Amino acid sequence: MSFLFGGGGGAKPQFTGLAVQTSSSNVVIPIAMGENRGAPNIIWQGDFQSHAHSVGGKGGVTGKGGQTFTYSGSYELALCWGPIHGVGTVYKDKDLTTLSALGMSLFTGTVPQSPWGYLTTNHPSEALGYAGIAVAAVANYDLGSSNALSQHSFEIQGQLWNTASWTGGNDADIALGIEGYLTDPTWGAGFDTSFIDSTSLLSTSAATTTGDNALQTYCRAMGWGFSPVLAQQTTAADTLKRWCDLFNTAPLWTGYALRFLPYCTETITANGVTYLPSFPVRYTLTDGDFIGDNSADPIRFDRADPKDCKNQLTITIANKANQYNDLPVMWEDLALIDQYGVQPDSTVEAKEITSATMAQEMVALMGQRNAYIRNRFACKLGPNFVRLEIGDIIIANDPVLGVLTLMVDEITENEDDTFDIIPVEWQPSTTLAPTIPTQSVSGTNVNTGVAASAVNPPIIFDPPSSLAGASAQVWVAVSGGDGTTADPLWGGCNVWLSTDNSTYTEIGTINQPARMGKLTASLASYGGTNPDTGHTLAIDLGMSAGQIISASSAGDAAAGANLCYLGGEFLSPQTVTPTGTYAFNCTNLYRALYGSTAGSHSSGAAIARLDQAIFKYALPAAYIGQTLYLKFQSFNVYGGGLQDLATCTAYTYTPTGGGYGTGSGGVPATPTGLSGATGGA
């Protein structure tokens, strides 16, 4: 199954076509059951387009500007055999999103299946229905600055989705999955249903009352399910054997039917069913029942040295709690390790298991069987034992070895109608579910594509020439939130400008929130000399999670160390006293700085602390007196979750050109005693 690798380079040179993807026509179509993550294969792509964008100078400083390009294309992505239930999360690179958010349509893989309407209209000769295959399709998909589709994978809600509802994870019923894998006429192994011992695979009506010993009943009572995504070619026998090992079950071919035997010897009642173990003793044997040389013991055995037995086993699962990333789950026998050292077994790939708790039970049962069932035996029996089957329990009375309880593991029929039997020692204790509690897997899922909040209403103003310098500027205080509370995931925004509210040009990027907020009480006008000791500036900076501290000295405050902009007035408090998490009372106010007026300001008025977070745009002379439209396109702290520019609010502002030579407003005078700022909060 091919993964989709991101491709392409920067915006220059301009791309002229879609990059070639690792799409293949000879890969297997995955089989998906339950709910797991899978990667698609591109089965159609086209309609590549480039889109030119004009760009202004960086950081609001005009430069020569230029042109960049973004790209789009249309795709059909094959997911797996259908029909599927649906698609949950879509993983786009490191972003977590949905089909609808990406504008994708889903065809679940019905038979028949209608072609994608976009192709029917625009490329009728290429419009195929792909009956029986689940397909995600998208037209004119935004590729950003690359000419290739980035890496995508999908949380596939496959066949038999949530049929194992007792797991709480939308898994498939294990027995139904095995039955479909063996017998489905489309994607199954072609196994004849008459060759399956259905009562050993599927629950009977007694499962919910008196109980039975079917695999389906056992797995439900254990709370097990699975979610395989089979994307590699393997033999059905190997896959079935691996599944049965995970589910603590023996698949047995009796010569006329495939039978399933859970190893569990404990009665389990849970999830509405009762599992009743059934291990009747088929025969009790003595020396006279065995065929062999009288000079040798009729029962031969191969005893494994405990130091050679595997005492550590790891299985690797797809951990749903962490975006289906690989998680190793280990079992080990500390007593054996203390005696003989670590003897690790080969790691088992079990990506169809998505629950760490379920995996811990499975790996413990597998490990116990490997570590504790050490002895294999061999004997020969006559034709009168023809009813003996794999999985049967026999009691062998041997004068040398004593009484042995054995389970038949292999049977070979000879030409003389005798049978070579390979039994193993039967230890019911190895079939019990582990009771040792395990620590749950911890960790935090990071969604780098989480949607970014819109900006708080920005504060836009013309600074005087004593702040802006020789050329006119427009300054903007911007932060992210809901107008009252800051969004901790807001990472900044791209700033776009237009003179007609139609065609926008990007003029810069803001990468940190301004310290901005609102007055919580009115501030009266002031006509006296600085500092103003009779009034208190009460502010709340919660919308930006901002902080402000006292200036080091009266001189620093007078020099604008705590310079703030409030409704046309520039002021700088000396003493700042916290009154809440983001609330402050500011006193000893140096007001009417930079030629402004110490007017009155009502409660709720917007205020901004002026520092390096303020966005500064060098204003072209032609824009003075003209209505400008500004949009602030937010992104999150990971650089993703970019807002759609079309949904961003357009804020209007008409610059006066104050402080720009002989422009409107002239050049304000510098306040008496004002010098360069020496520090501040």
The string of DSSP letters for 415-438 reads: TTS-EEEEEEE--GGGGSPP-S--
Comparing 231-240, 595-604, 651-660, which segment has the lowest mean pLDDT?
651-660
**Taking a C-beta distance cutoff of 8 angstroms, is the pair 5, 31 a contact?**
no
**Taking a C-beta distance cutoff of 8 angstroms, is the pair 519, 601 a contact?**
yes
The position carrying tokens 């589709």 is: 149
Bridge-based pairing state of the strands 348-349 and 312-319? parallel
Q: pLDDT tens digits for 309-318?
A: 889 999 999 9
Of 371, 202, 378, the closest CA to residue 296 belongs to 378
Q: Where are the alpha helices (DSSP H) in 349-480?
A: 356-372, 465-468
Q: For residue 40, what is the DSSP state?
A: -
Quote the CA–CA distance of 436 and 364 in Å, as a whole number. 10
Quote the CA–CA distance of 670 and 473 in Å, as a whole number. 17
pLDDT score recorded for residue 353: 96
- 3-class secondary structure, 122: helix
Comparing 175-189, 240-254, 280-294, 605-619, which segment has the lowest mean pLDDT?
280-294
* Full set of structural domains in the chain with CATH: 31-157 (no CATH), 165-278 (no CATH), 283-304+376-430 (2.40.240), 459-653 (no CATH)
Instruction: Give the type of residue at 197.
Output: D
As given in the structure block, the two tokens for residue 643 are 């807002």
Quote the CA–CA distance of 556 and 312 in Å, as a whole number. 68
Average pLDDT over residues 341-355: 94
Average pLDDT along the chain: 86
Quote the CA–CA distance of 612 and 54 in Å, as a whole number. 26
The string of DSSP letters for 199-246 reads: HHHS--GGGGTT-B--HHHHHHHHT--B--EE-S---HHHHHHHHHHH
Of 304 and 324, the structure prediction assigns the larger pLDDT to: 324
> Band of the pLDDT at 439, cuts 50, 70, 90?
low
As given in the structure block, the two tokens for residue 505 are 């040009």
> Band of the pLDDT at 95, cuts 50, 70, 90?
confident
Of 600, 580, 604, 581, the closest CA to residue 483 belongs to 604
Q: pLDDT tens digits for 557-608?
A: 999 999 999 999 999 999 999 999 999 999 999 999 998 999 999 999 999 9
Q: pLDDT tens digits for 243-281?
A: 999 999 989 887 789 999 998 888 999 999 999 998 888
**Residue 383, Cβ density class (10 Å: 0-12 exposed, 13-18 middle, ≥19 buried):** exposed
For residue 587, report the phi and psi dihedrals to the nearest 5 degrees: -130, 175
pLDDT score recorded for residue 12: 45
118: CB partners within 8 A, 6+ apart = 74, 137, 139
Q: pLDDT tens digits for 25-65?
A: 567 899 999 999 999 999 999 998 887 766 554 333 333 44
pLDDT score recorded for residue 678: 30
Q: Is pLDDT above 80 for 320?
A: yes
What share of the chain in percent tops pLDDT 90?
62
Comparing 416-430, 484-498, 655-669, which segment has the lowest mean pLDDT?
655-669
Q: Is pLDDT above 80 for 3?
A: no
